[in-house]
Chains A and B, each alone.
Chain A
Amino acid sequence: MTSAHAAALDTAGDVEGRSLWQDAWRRLKRNRAALASMIILGVVAAVCLIGPYTLPWPYDAIDWDHVEAMPPNMELGHYLGTDSVGRDLLARTLVGGRVSLMVGVLATMVALFIGVTVGAVAGFVGGRVDQLLMRLVDLLYSVPLTFFVIILMVMFGRNFILMFLAIGAVEWLTMARIVRGQTLSLKSKEFIEAARASGGSTAGIILRHVVPNVLGVVIVYVTLTIPQVILLESFLSFLGLGVQEPFTSWGVLLNEGAAELEVNPQTLIVPAVFMTATLFCFNFLGDGLRDALDPKDR
């Protein structure tokens, strides 16, 4: 066949391929729990983002006529009641959700970036570099997380950005280990050798071949890390190290609600429902992704 002939064919009759991602997506769509989780998560995220603008009460406004916790009251516009100082509970829960989700996602992204880079380089380059990086990971593992975050908070003050940086900086350790393990098993595959024989550089091979092939495992781990981080943020808020008043997060709301549980159960129940639903959905989604991305494991 001449190249002119080949060029004439061009894209005309090209058959579309089905990538492994597309396969995984189809399997995921067939998994009801995962699909429902995705939808619920989407709704929660959308409501948290848009919801506060449509409510009659802003999250930080005190209803001066009713400066006390109040059960749901449709006429006044407190659809899910108010907290102990008369602020609208729904608005606060939604705004708190923004914070919690953002911390969860951003901290996980930080963890993802550091973890994948360190893991892939350590696993692929091997030798001394591997030893050095992994001993560093071991070392950081031995530092108690809360202790680390508390020290940071004390040193730099209660800073919102600092919090997710701190959480992300700790969560990457497991990611790095997972990615390293995957990379090691990939490294012995012939297609990596083939890439080298084709003139690929180490960095190029890591980017083109290693990272796309560990991404499946990484995505699963990400969906399981986000809820962990949300919980961690709640825990820190519980200790009083989280976001500051009047700003809020699910953890802060839970903390306040727990104190009021006997008198005003809704102050605990509302944020708790949102948060547990979110955590559950992330876990179901993670399980679904794991099954979809690696059908051999079943």
Chain B
Amino acid sequence: MSETLLDVKDLKVHYPVRTGGLVIGTYTPLKALDGVSFELKAGETLGVVGESGCGKSTLGRAVLQLLPATGGAVAWLGRALNDLDAKALKAERERMQIVFQDPLASLDPRMTAGDIIAEPLRNYRPHMSKAEMKAKVKDMMGRVGLHSTMINRYPHEFSGGQCQRIGIARAMILDPKLVVCDEPVSALDVSIRAQVVNLLMELQRAMNLAMIFISHDLSIVRHISHRVMVLYLGKTMEIAPRDALYAAPRHPYTQALLSAVPVPDPTIARARPRLALAGELPSPLNPPSGCVFRTRCPRATKVCAEVEPTRAQPGTGHDVWCHHWRESGLETKVAP
């Protein structure tokens, strides 16, 4: 694959949350995202998985500068995005788009499908003629599997799946190089999820897109991703090429997540160990010391509470943040 499009280094998003103090508040940083790094090439999909509240959505928005990052750097084609002014940022954003989770909420209810899809064009191609714009919108509608005769309909007249296709068309109309998909199918009916995922994969191949695919559904992530990153409490637990991650997960958290994925074959399902996650997600306001996962980790030892794990590399392109990754028995490895 080709050049690196996106280079994210040690990205941090902390919110100050008022935790006390009557007149002068005392603030504790909520670490929604705490030092995440990755690279992304054209045509590559990075799957981002984790429980809700682990910082997945924050990651997507911080990369696109829809949320201000409090630390770290995002480089886009070698240029730093963090401290651009509004105008420069707008120019850079032309090639990065986002597809949202809630298909209906992400479309303005007072605008027609055509107007919604054309909105990026109006912002970035102010000189484009009406007719040209319309032709382009209709062409795009065809590419995402919508009837172009529906151009004058309003979002409430479409089904959830169709609304998501409108959202995808809006994201694709400027020929982006990077698309962040923030749980694009989790609000949809199970029966149409596959169609939308396949549409995204098709468009990705056709346009050589880099994609960040955020989801809590590990089967879908497996289907669409080239590499997968596992987040927990705003930190990366493990990042690896898809096959390596699914075949030989090294981090206890990844193993637990994978063991919870339903398997269609009952013999495999029975043979496979269940690593249930004990306890609840700790408050991100008061994350555990040392390894943030230790409060729920079946393999936690004393060192986990004292020292934050550093990066270990079990394989090429495979990074894991765990003290005990070597022992993290491959007995949990399950052939698909």
Contacts and interface: CB of A to CB of B under 8 A. Distances in A.
Interface residues of B, number: 44
A14 B109 contact: no
Contacts, number: 103
A17 B259 CA distance: 47
Contacts of A191: 105-109
Interface string B52-88: 0000000001001010000000000000000000100
A201 B139 CA distance: 26
Interface string A2-23: 1101110110011111111100
Interface in A186-211: 189-191, 193-201, 204, 208-209
Contacts of A201: 86, 90
A213 B143 contact: no
A1 interface: yes
A212 interface: yes
Contact of B153 (A7, A10, A17, A189): A17
Interface string B195-216: 0000000000000000000000
B150 interface: yes
Given A194-B98, A197-B93, A199-B124, A15 B152 contact: yes
A15 B150 contact: yes
B156 A190 contact: no
Q: Is the interface of A mostly helix, strand, loop or mixed?
A: helix
A13, A16, A18, A197 — which one has the most chain B CB atoms within 10 A of its CB? A197
A204 B123 contact: yes
A9 B148 contact: yes
Contact of A193 (B96, B100, B135, B152): B100
A198 to B, nearest CB: 4
Contact of A20 (B90, B139, B154): B154
Given A198-B170, A199-B123, A3 B136 contact: yes
B149 A14 contact: yes
Nearest to B136: A3
B139 A19 contact: no
Contacts of B96: 197
B142 A6 contact: yes
Contacts of A199: 90, 93-94, 120, 123-124
Contact of A190 (B93, B100, B150): B100
Nearest to B124: A199
B167 interface: yes
B101 interface: yes
B108 A213 contact: yes
B119 A3 contact: no
A208 B152 CA distance: 17
Nearest to A210: B108
Interface in B131-147: 131, 134-136, 138-139, 142-143
B93 A14 contact: no
17 contacts: A1-B148, A3-B135, A6-B135, A9-B138, A14-B152, A20-B110, A189-B105, A190-B106, A191-B106, A193-B61, A193-B98, A194-B98, A195-B108, A197-B98, A198-B119, A199-B94, A199-B123
Given A17-B152, A195-B119, 10 more contacts: A6-B138, A18-B153, A190-B100, A190-B101, A194-B167, A197-B93, A199-B94, A201-B86, A209-B108, A213-B110
The 8 closest A-B pairs by CB, nearest first: A1-B142, A199-B123, A17-B153, A190-B106, A6-B138, A198-B120, A7-B135, A6-B139
